Amino acid sequence: MDLLNAVAEKGGFQVKFVNTPWEGIFNSLGQGDRDLLISSITITDERKQTMDFSNPLLRCDPADRREGQLQGRQVR
């Protein structure tokens, strides 16, 4: 949200954040009830057919979720 607030300030527009249940976020975007989504959304080929994505800010490898795989690593 901080990132979008900074973009809005620089671009001279206002944003309104609407907390939406996960189950409804894609429908609300598709119906025009939302202009964009900010969340940890996995980019899939299926989703690319109906929406545009920015460049990913974080890439997660499912292999990193194994126990102990993240121990000692730092997020930069």
Residue 38 lies in domain:
2-58
Q: Does pLDDT of 28 surpass 90?
A: yes
Is 65 part of a structural domain of the chain? no
Q: Are 31 and 24 in contact (CB under 8 A)?
A: no
Question: Structure pTM?
Answer: 0.62
Is 67 part of a structural domain of the chain? no
Is 73 part of a structural domain of the chain? no
Summarised one tens digit per residue, pLDDT across range 39-60 is 888 888 999 999 999 888 777 7
Q: Would you call 12 helix, strand, or coil by DSSP? A: coil
What pLDDT shows up at residue 68?
Answer: 63
Is 70 part of a structural domain of the chain? no
Structurally, how many domains does the chain consist of?
1
Is 20 part of a structural domain of the chain? yes
- Residues across the chain: 76
Is 72 part of a structural domain of the chain? no
